[in-house]
Each structure stands twice: as structure tokens, then as C-alpha cells.
Amino acid sequence: MTEISQQSRTTTSSPAGLRRVVLAAIVGTAIEWYDFFLYATAAGLIFASLFFAPAGEGFGTILAFFTVGISFLFRPLGAFLAGHLGDRYGRKLVLMLTLILMGVSTTLIGLLPTYGQIGMLAPILLVLLRVLQGISAGGEWGGAALLAVEHAPRARRGIFGASPQIGVPIGLLLSSGSLALMTAIAPGDAFLQWGWRVPFLFSVLLIGVGVYIRRRVEETPVFEAMVAVKARAKAPIAQLFRKHWRVLVLTGLVPVGSHAAGYMTTGGYIQRYATDPAGPVGLPTGQVLSAVTASAVTWLIFTLVGGWLTDRIGRKRTFLLAWVLLFVAVIVAFPLVNTGNIGLLFLGLVFLTVGLGLANAPLSTVFAEAFPSSVRFSGVSIAYAISAIVGGAFAPTIATALVQATGSTWSVSIYLLVMIAISVTAIICLRDRTGIDLGPQNDEER
């Protein structure tokens, strides 16, 4: 075996080093998604009245959800910037920058005056900070995915690749849990006046934790091999679009079904729908937030199960099993929510999170194996940004508009089923590269 091949196959040698990699992927991603989901949940619950009051309750809610979607439009910019930096200068640098940008943006939202205090400047500043969150999110996931997968032993890429995906339910658990806690500490008007700000301000402490952990992780062996053999592309994004655009499109469509279904909770839609006093459900905010928080545990567990499965039965089979379960969950979830029973609402969320966990687990590994090393950070980041726009960006806005237009949540279920069908088609068409060597000597085979 040549020296180059050996470099590209080598992972972090010590068990302690591997544990640091997994911890850095999980903790950093959890902090990023805590910040991101915190905004989406707050948008569904309170931002309509705090920042978009003149628009009225109905249209104000649509505007608040629209600001959730706006950030997704800037994810490609973050993906382009992070992809270029990550393919040219390393995965670790980008992970530090995205974490700091997200944390600072979230903390500033917690300090932002409302519309009643500074008028139109309030929603403008809110949107600008949300845009910065979108840029950060555009680069974070790709870096975390490659940090985990490019360090992983070949036979365990699936479970290692699931580690950044575990950060998603942990972020949801922390964001929903912190808001639920604040509704108990500062109920009613106190929550609207100052209670909602505390979880946003808490992000400044999380930045320090994430930076400390990520500084202790080594650069990936694959990138070090790229440097050693001078395999870094001068213009990785141009090369990506010229040579690998078909793979980029297919990988970008693979997660759209799970994104759309997942953003029913992570995007704040179900929280808003189930707590709306004028709506058909009208449950207390604290109960709904607690149910969402508890369902994040199921999501976490089945993400781990999905990572284990993808190393045992393969990437595609794990995806297809996940989408069958998610197909059923989408059909039964809203009828359970509409009962107005908090226990049945929680059951509906559990059905969703089982499928979401299994569907999210293989993403990091499949994306990393799809692209050659020289453009991998760019490919993974941009593909994920595409999937976020198509699948998640405006899912809460679309769901809100569909229910207002039809008066029925069945329209939302049909929309989600269509998105799942797109995902199934994309994974069937995507070439299976399970176990391929990720090093630069294999780039010409892609």
C-alpha cells in the first residue's frame, strides 16, 4: 500500500482522539441547532406579536414564519463560503467560524428591542440577524459531517456519521426545554416581556463550550493527505458544478422529505398550531413545548439506531425503511394533534421522530461518500443547503397557508407525502458508494 493511500485510510489513532471527534461533532452541532431552532420556536409562539404586530395575528404569524425561511435562502452563501474555505484551508477552521457567528447572532437577538420600542427597525434587525444565522448554518453541517466521517474507521462510518445528526434532536431538546422552563419561571406577560430572551442570551455561554471542545480536535486525515499530495482544488466550487452537478442535485433532493416533516416541529409550526387560542386545539404553551422536548429524546435514540443500521444493512435500505415509517407518521400525526389531548399529541410527535431519526442518520455518510475529497466540503455543504431550501425553508409558512386556505391539516399531510416521494426517487437514482476510500487518490473515480 502506498504512503498516500495509507494516509487517506488512517483515522485518529487513539480512542481518546476518536472520542474527541465524536464529542466535537455532537456538541458543536447541538449548539448550532439550539440557536437555530430557538429562533424558529420563538417565531411560532411570540415573534408575530413582538415584531410584526401591525400585520395582525394571522398575517403576522405568516411573516414570522417567513423570517424562518429567509435564513435558508442565505444558507447557500454560507455553504459557498464555507465550502471554499473548508476545501482550501481545512475543515476545523470553518467549524470554529460558524460556531462563533451563530452564537453571536443568537445572543444579539436576545438583546433586540421589539416593534413597540423602536418601530420598523426591530423587524429589520431581526431579519438581518436571522440572515447571519442562515449563513452560519450553511457551513456548519458540512464541516461537522466531514469531521466525523473523515476521521471514522471505514466499517463504522455510519455510526460516526450519525454523530452530527444527533446534535439536531439535542438542539431541539435544549431549545424547547429552555423555552418551556421559562414559561414556568416567567408565565404570561412576563414571558413576553423578558422570559423569552433568557434562552437566547444563554447562547453566549454555549459558544465558549463549543470553541473549547473544537479547538482540541485534530484536522481530518483526509484533508492532511490532500495537503501532502497537493490535491486541493484552486477553485473547488467551479470544479464541483462543472464535473459533479448531477450528484449535487441528487444529494440535495435526498433529505427534502425529512426536512419538510422535521420542520413541522423544529420550524415551530406544530407548536404554533397546537397553542393557538383561536385554533381547533388550544393547548397550553408549556405542555406543548414539554411534549416537543420529550419527543426529541425519541429522535435522538432513533438517530443512533439509524447510524448503527446504516453500517449493518446499508445506506439505501436504512433510508427506505425510514421513509416508509415517516410516510405512515405523516398520515397519523395531525389527526392525533387535532384531538386536543396532550398525550396523543406527544404520540404523534413520537411517530414523526422515529422516522426522522432513521432518515437523518445516514446523511453525513452518504453525502461524504458521494463527492471526491478535493470538492467534498463544497459539495456536502451546498447539497445540504439545497435540501434545506427545497425541504425545510418555507415548510412552516406553506403549512400555515395551506391550513388557512383549506381549513384542514390533511392538505399539510399531502404536501409532506409529496416531499417524501421526492426523497425516495432521489436515493434510488443516487449511486451507492458505501465504503469507498475517501482519500485524494480516489478522486478520479467519482
Of the two residues 21 and 310, the one the predictor is more confident about is 310
Q: What is the dihedral of CA 369, 374, 380, 382, to 10 degrees?
A: -150
Span 68-102, pLDDT tens digits: 878 878 888 988 898 888 888 888 888 889 889 98
Residue 229, pLDDT > 80, answer: no
Q: What is the mean pLDDT of residues 345-350?
A: 95
Query: What is the structure's pLDDT at 366?
Result: 95
Please name the residues in contact with 314: beta carbons below 8 A apart, sequence gap of 6 or more. Answer: 432, 434
- Domain extents in the chain: 7-439
Sequence-distant (6+) residues with CB within 8 A of 170 are 26, 30, 33, 34, 296, 300
Q: Tell me, what's the pLDDT at 10?
A: 44
Residue 4's pLDDT band (boundaries 50, 70, 90)?
very low
pLDDT digits (tens, 9 = 90+) for 145-192: 888 898 888 888 999 999 988 988 898 889 988 998 999 999 988 998
Q: Which of 1-15, 67-81, 306-320, 349-363 has the lowest mean pLDDT?
A: 1-15
- Phi and psi, residue 17, nearest 5°: -65, -40
Region 327-345: mean pLDDT is: 95
The percent of residues above 70 in pLDDT, for the chain, comes to 94
Output the pLDDT for position 9: 44
CB 348 within 8 Å of CB 325: no
The residue among 44 and 376 whose pLDDT is bigger is 376
**More confident of the two residues 18 and 199:** 199
Higher pLDDT, 305 or 56: 305
Confidence (pLDDT) at 214: 84
Residue 441 has a pLDDT of: 65
Please report which confidence band the pLDDT of residue 355 belongs to, taking 50, 70 and 90 as the band edges.
very high
Whole-Å CA distances, 260 to 223, 357, 397, 426, 445:
33, 14, 11, 15, 33
Higher per-residue pLDDT: 446 or 44: 44
What average pLDDT does the segment 213-238 reach? 77
The neighbour count for residue 128, using CB atoms within 10 Å, is 11
Is 8 a residue whose pLDDT tops 60?
A: no
pLDDT value at position 216? 81
- The pLDDT, as a whole number, for residue 307 is 94
**pLDDT exceeds cutoff 60 at 129:** yes
Residue carrying the nine cell digits 426523497: 423
Q: What share of the chain is helix, strand, coil (3-state, %, to 5)?
A: 80, 0, 20
DSSP state of 154: G
We find that the CATH architecture of domain 7-439 is Up-down Bundle (1.20)
Give the mean model confidence (pLDDT) for residues 356-365.
94
pLDDT at residue 7 tops 50 = no
**Predicted TM-score of the model (pTM):** 0.82
Mean pLDDT of the chain: 87
The predicted structure's pLDDT at residue 302: 96
